[in-house]
Structure 1
Amino acid sequence: MNDTIYAPATGAGRAAVAVIRISGPRASEAVRDLAGAVPQPRRAVLRQLTHQGVPLDDALVVWFEGPASYTGEDSAEFHVHGGRAVVEAVLQALADNGLRLAEPGEFTRRAFENGKLDLTQAEGVADLVDAETEAQRRQALGQLGGALSERYDTWRGMLVQALAMLEAAVDFPDEELPEDVAARARPGLEALEAEIATALEDASRGRRVRDGFRIALVGAPNAGKSTLLNAMVERDAAIVTSTPGTTRDIIEVPLTLGGYKTLLADTAGLRETEDAIEAEGVRRARAWAADADLRLWVVDAAMFHVKQNNELSVLRSGDWAVINKIDLVDAYRLEELREILAAQGLKVVELAARKPGGAEEARAALTAHVVDALSGAEFPAATRIRHAESLAEARTYLQRALSDVGLEVELAAEDVRLAARSLSRITGRIDPEDVLDRVFSSFCIGK
């Protein structure tokens, strides 16, 4: 980190203002070259930027003296007019001064490496930049504020306390210590193992808030899946025709339900077919449905038959059956359908998707379902797959330690150390370089 980096911190294109950031040991030199002098820290001053005697722009210049900066290094920001020519001229001037264009996420990586953030907080920065919904914003802001770090630090403290008892039994067997000193570590380890087990059960919630709650529309051709999708998103996102097999590929449409990002997918109609293209669409439909958080089985009220083997195979416990085209059948037929579908253990929803406002009740029910699935009293203990993997690893070591307490105390102590290392890996206290590269490569340039 001996070089000095620069990057635009705002998006490309025409804008009123663009922000260009620099960080590193030569930051003050670059500011003096362009702005004439380094201003007082954290005070915005208006300066004319020049390079090699050529005026570039009138800009606001802000100086952040390390370590009291985002990266922990000497840093500066130039707030220039947002025209493309202005931004490119300032960037070229910084390059001429020997500064290097930053890699994606390099500013935040320097903040991490300089102890300004831990790894979960750094990930919170990336999630906050990418946040599209209110729920994503709240979760990312909480993570940036240290909500995950605090929980992991608490768990690590419990491990350190248990480890102290185990090591005392190993290292000082002849001292006047309680005979059950090693056994006293068990209650704390059991409590922690239970907490991590609960966290793992809830691990998908944080990821679904980040990536979106996935809902698959499945069913026979012409059941009304595409019509329902269009009604739900209130636009013509999918082609609707009377020809069976019109939908050949997955059509994913993002929407926000109750403040949470949701991905609604229209899929190919499930049936046996000799058409190679349609068969591939059916295969993709099954694969997407298998990974979805909820499947809506759309059935045509007028064409439904009791045996629906091709469709039933994709359903899971807790999925919904959507009886569509209820305007085409009588009350007796509708009641018969309710009983058949309810017997499959499915929640039954009724609608006429083609009618104006026909999907409003279904949308309201889905909103309530998504909110119930993704909201929680506590901040999720894992918001990424790597968090869950390390938690699972820590739990495995804890379970092994608990089986060794009272038998092989030395082995139990080593397993507790390994569990602590697994937790430390989440916050980045102990992390191989390739993990850091993977985390920060997902950032945008300038952050």
Structure 2
Amino acid sequence: MPSELIAAIATGPVRAAIGTVRLSGPGAARCAGAVFRPADGRALEIHPPKTLVYGTVLDRTGKGVDMALAVWWPEGSGYTGEEAAELQCHGSPMALSLALEALFAHGARQAGPGEFTRRAFLNGKLDLTQAEAVMDLIDAETPQAVRQAAGQISGLLSHRVEEIYGGLVDVMAHFHAVLDYPDEDLDPFTGETVEKALEQAERALEALLATGGRGRLLNRGVPCAIVGRPNVGKSTLLNALAGCERAIVTDIPGTTRDTVEARCVLGETLLRLVDTAGVRETADPVERLGVERSRRAMEEAQLILVVADRCVGLTQEDMELCREAVGLAPTILVWNKCDLPAGDAPVPLEALPDAVEVSAKTGAGLEALGEKVDRLFPHGAKGEGEALLTNARQTEAAGRALTAVERAGSALKMGVTPDALLTDVEEALSALGELTGKTVREDVTDRIFSRFCVGK
């Protein structure tokens, strides 16, 4: 069944310098040409493909609404693998809407969320990991996340999975070749052959699964708890890092009673910040609940910033909190209020967790804090040029493949004949196929592409 012709505004619904309307499907060039009048008077389809043409965009009544550029691609050469076209207009939301309405009047329909990328996947232009990387690129908030997503789109993860898949396919092909052509001069199908292939696949899958943590931190951010005694500047620090007044700040101890969350890029690391209630003994039942949530946030964090008041000096409570934090996650002591005279510290700073002096009020020292965070989480630098699993779906599929390979290896060691364990190899191949989209169910692809914006 041929695809329908779809169209959508591919840029955001805000005023901008440039706005794009895109089409994909049979007759895309003809439909675009019906609402675009080239300045040289020739029809758009007559112009060479992949060449920008200057002219006038028309509304559904044939009146000009913009001076713009148009381009078209023949089937097989564009993003979706179908015949496609784009109108590159000025970024007036109204002008773009009028152009889109005109395309609908000439036979196109509104594209659904992610439908362009879904067609690219269905037409073999992208596999599923590459399609997911398109969304990762759109959502990227750090330079490393951008570079990693670009690498995934180019096929870094796909190639890694295909290497594992190909090794297991070779095992299956060898078995069936020996079985189907017994008179041919083929190497015998032995346990040693299978064992070597399974060990290679197991090592490769273990290494791939080990990247899942870095991939998720790169895309979702590092859970980071900001903790400390009341009134040491935790909320001021969160506001400074977030770049807005996210938390209420007063001189009254115990202002923060519940956790407050924000996202920020510190250094080159994306953080999911949680500002917590001041940790202290209290008879106030509401504040006590806040303290309990603070400790729970520490337990769930992968980075803890212990904030202490440099003017007061380190207290016994600060030290106890530092010791507790170090036992839970990588910890940095944020020695706050460095713009004011310092108090006394009962122990040398070198005896504490990694420490940095900052002023959350003025912003002094935040760059140094970012450098320390980057050293603790060098996932960006390590991830460049590396295939990473970046979401739960990919990790789950790779995990099932590893389990099947391990089961096959165990069966082989127990004396099961090589041919009998090939069902486990087939299961591993099926899981790897789900990872790249070779064997994925339609409801899974529906869920993946529903995350995309309309026009992508």
Which TM-score bucket, shorter chain as reference? 0.7 to 0.9
The one-letter code sitting in structure 1 at the alignment partner of 2:331 is D
| TM-score normalised by the chain length of structure 2 | 0.85
Question: Where do residues 167-182 of structure 1 align in structure 2 (5 Å cutoff)?
Answer: 181-182=190-191
Q: Which moved more, 1:127-136 or 1:301-310?
A: 301-310
Partner of 1:330: 344
Change (3 A) 1:21 1:370: same
3-state SS of paired residue (1:81): strand
Partner of 2:450: 441
Question: Where do residues 34-113 of structure 1 align in structure 2 (5 Å cutoff)?
Answer: 34-35=35-36, 37=43, 38=45, 39-50=47-58, 51-113=60-122
Q: CA deviation at 1:314?
A: 9.4
Partner of 1:370: 377
| TM-score normalised by the chain length of structure 1 | 0.86
Q: Distance in 1 between matches of 2:62 and 2:170?
A: 64
| 8 Å contact kept, 2:218–2:380 | no
> Is 1:396 matched up with 2:409?
no
Q: CA deviation at 1:366?
A: 1.9
Change (3 A) 1:94 1:286: farther
Q: Distance in 2 between matches of 1:24 and 1:160?
A: 35
3-state SS of paired residue (2:347): helix
Deviations 1:190-244 (A, max 9, x none): 1221222222223110111112223211233234322433455676553332322
Partner of 2:357: 351
Long gaps (5+) in structure 2: 38-42
Q: Distance in 2 between matches of 1:282 and 1:311?
A: 17
> Is 1:127 matched up with 2:136?
yes
> Is 1:162 matched up with 2:171?
yes
3-state SS of paired residue (2:377): helix
The one-letter code sitting in structure 2 at the alignment partner of 1:138 is R
- Supply the RMSD in Å over aligned alpha carbons: 3.2
Q: Which moved more, 1:30-39 or 1:98-107?
A: 30-39
| 8 Å contact kept, 2:322–2:333 | no
Q: CA deviation at 1:334?
A: 3.0
Partner of 1:209: 218
Long gaps (5+) in structure 1: 342-346
Q: Distance in 1 between matches of 2:23 and 2:89?
A: 14
> Is 1:312 matched up with 2:320?
no
| 8 Å contact kept, 2:298–2:304 | yes
Q: Distance in 1 between matches of 2:429 and 2:77?
A: 31
Q: CA deviation at 1:266?
A: 1.6
Change (3 A) 1:81 1:296: closer
Which of 417, 423, 434 is the aligned partner of 1:425? 434
Q: Which moved more, 1:252-261 or 1:393-402?
A: 252-261
3-state SS of paired residue (1:334): coil
The alignment covers a number of residue pairs equal to: 439
Q: Distance in 2 between matches of 1:223 and 1:299?
A: 6
The one-letter code sitting in structure 2 at the alignment partner of 1:27 is A
3-state SS of paired residue (1:56): strand
Partner of 2:16: 15
Q: CA deviation at 1:408?
A: 4.1
Which of 294, 299, 303 is the aligned partner of 2:315? 303
The one-letter code sitting in structure 2 at the alignment partner of 1:46 is Y
Deviations 1:91-112 (A, max 9, x none): 1112222321111110000010
Partner of 1:344: none
Q: Distance in 1 between matches of 2:383 and 2:61?
A: 58
The one-letter code sitting in structure 2 at the alignment partner of 1:48 is T
